[in-house]
Amino acid sequence: MQISRQFGNTLREAPADADTIAHQLLVRGGFVDQLMAGVYSYMPLGRRVKQRIEQVIREEMDHAGGQEVLLPTIQPVDIWEQSGRALSMADVLFQLTDKRERAMVLGPTHEEVITKLFQDHANSYRDLPVTLYQIQTKLRDETRPRNGLVRVREFTMKDAYSFDIDEEGLDQSYDQMFKAYERIFKRLGIPIVAVEADSGAIGGKGSQEFIFLTDSGEDTVLICEQCGYAANQEKADFLRVDAGKSEIQSIEEIETPNATSIDELTDFLKIDSNQTAKAVLVMAEPLDGGAPFPVFAVVRGDLEINDVKLMNAIGARSLEPMQDTQIREYGLVAGYASPINLSNSLKTIADISIPGAINLVSGANKPDTHFRNTNYGRDWTADLVADIALAGEDHLCAHCPEDVESRLRARRGIEMGHVFRLGTTYTNHFAVTVLDETGKQLTPTMGCYGIGVERIIAAAVEEHHDEHGIIWPASIAPYDVHLIGIGMVRDEAVKEDAEALYQELKDASIDVIFDDRDESPGVKFNDADLIGIPIRLITSSRNLKAGLIEVKHRDSDKTETVPRKDLVTWLQVNQTT
């Protein structure tokens, strides 16, 4: 491609709303253009990067035994109602009706569709195992699209789905996909960490995310440098530090004026926060879409509630803080709510930090009043005790040996891929069965495996750039070589040589972009640095006379010269994709 004919231009300055390095450089380099919040057009350069990423993914999925399909974007809403996700994913579903008033959705993912497809075409154990995948546009009505290509409304996902006879087969399919993902990210030049994750609205029996660690990431992961345990903060577990043992004391009521928060309470009583019980009052919307129900959650005062863990524990799809009118309706006092003598209409749940904690200070359900020396089991009990606390920096790792005291470290990151053990979640919803070897019906078990293509583009730029621009990994660069002609307008011989070299490279099947513009060397070099092609070739009158081509790798400040006659051979040897 000749730059003089390429659609789009580079920019000297980044747009004001570009809040990450990747967003800034992709717009400045002419790779993408924003149509509206969360929706982007791919320019020719960006499209080539995207295609090369997709090709790497496709090769590794095929190598792992996947078969490529292409599923419809428009889906009938009734299959989402059948799976129960019309409610659990309602916040992000684009919904519409056709001319006959039939309700449809624009697919944000394809578990329902692939399960129906499998049901229509698989009959017996001989059709298993099978892994089907696609690389296709997804649409999600994100409330706050942000971070450039990281969180968008329209994006490309590679989603794969495995079907197996039993859990042992699922283990094998899951392992094959996990290893395929490791190969994909290695080839793409994206360093990743595999972490335990919450399965969210996808469901299933467990999942892992592939996280690219970066300060601009929107996810927090906890990592133990001692044993290697890693988990998304939504999922991470940890050891609670013992608040200390003492004799159980008699409960007493104490005055605590204006102490409605844990900090105010501990300052007033001159105690540590782990000697208190924190009450969190929420209204929970059930998974089946029924009426919201009140929840009284209790965690030790030095900890925070993990909303995701709480929702999973009580079977809710969303949580909202109780309003003052609701708090009064359930006989509670804001800032002083007590788990003692609660109304039966409240569902109570205690974190696992509570039963072993002795003589805690908790609310007395009276203004400006707390109870001292409250104890779980004697003074109150919960409907449920579960891990509902949020893991954080410096919490103790729960997976190291007992004699090792290792602390978790918090890192920010971007989710690049996610693999799920779905089990029979969807095959049960759709009553999918096949015949086993004896002719009996069995329900296949599923796995689900997703990779976000846009996020790979963003991560590649975040990981591979300098103060001048992008440094594309060779495997996904839009072109292999960037040819620059210096002085072409003034020197006909240089022009002829550069054009001849451009044709020679194309004939040798080397992807080349040729800067044939009437611009200064500085402008051409700056654009080359910004665009980030791995190898830069420079032809000029001086190089022409010497029979040489100047070569510079984008990831190095050094230059070298290669004999003009040997250039194609040299490139074929030195290119790495």
- CA dist 521 and 227 (Å) reads 53
- Cβ atoms of residues 387 and 379 within 8 Å: no
Residue 203 has pLDDT above 80, yes or no: no
Q: Give the closest residue to 188 by CA, choosing from 22, 66, 69, 50.
A: 50
- CA dist 280 and 278 (Å) reads 7
Q: Scan for tokens 């049960």, then name that residue.
A: 428
Q: Give the closest residue to 241 by CA, choosing from 135, 125, 395.
A: 395
Residue 199 has pLDDT above 80, yes or no: no
511 by Cβ neighbours in 10 Å (0-12 / 13-18 / 19+) ranks as middle
- Cβ atoms of residues 152 and 454 within 8 Å: yes
How many other C-beta atoms lie within 10 A of the C-beta of residue 302?
A: 18
Angle between helices 167-188 and 44-63 (to 10 degrees): 140
| Least confident segment among 128-132, 194-198, 570-574 | 570-574
Residue 112 has pLDDT above 80, yes or no: yes
Give the angle subtended at the CA of 396 by the CAs of 395 and 397, to the nearest 5°.
120
CA distances from 120 to 113, 128, 425, 434 (A): 11, 14, 18, 11
Query: What pTM, to 2 d.p., does this model score?
Result: 0.90
- Cβ atoms of residues 187 and 60 within 8 Å: yes
pLDDT band at 370 (very low <50, low <70, confident <90, very high): very high
Sheet with 316-321, strands from edge to edge, namely 316-321, 277-286, 293-300, 347-351, 384-386
pLDDT for the residue 285: 92
> Tens digit of pLDDT for each residue in 33-86?
999 989 999 999 999 999 999 999 999 999 999 999 999 999 999 999 999 898
Q: Which two tokens stand for residue 520?
A: 């200064």
pLDDT band at 274 (very low <50, low <70, confident <90, very high): very high
| Least confident segment among 189-203, 216-230, 465-479 | 189-203
Q: Which two tokens stand for residue 34?
A: 């924003």
Secondary element (H or E) of residue 193: strand 193-197
pLDDT for the residue 495: 87
> Tens digit of pLDDT for each residue in 11-47?
888 888 888 899 999 999 999 999 998 999 999 999 9
Which residues, at least 6 apart from 144, have a Cβ–Cβ distance to it below 8 Å? Answer: 151
Secondary element (H or E) of residue 521: helix 521-531
Residue 143 has pLDDT above 80, yes or no: yes
> Tens digit of pLDDT for each residue in 396-429?
999 998 888 899 999 999 999 999 999 999 999 9
The torsion angle over the Cα atoms of residues 409, 414, 419 and 421, rounded to 10 degrees, is 60
- CA dist 324 and 321 (Å) reads 9
pLDDT band at 204 (very low <50, low <70, confident <90, very high): low
* Centroid of chain to Cα 503: 42
pLDDT for the residue 304: 96
CA distances from 211 to 155, 238, 266 (A): 18, 20, 38
Domains of the chain: 46-213+413-461 (3.30.930.10), 252-386 (3.90.960.10), 479-574 (3.40.50.800)
> Which of 8-17, 185-194, 335-344 is modeled with the greatest confidence?
185-194
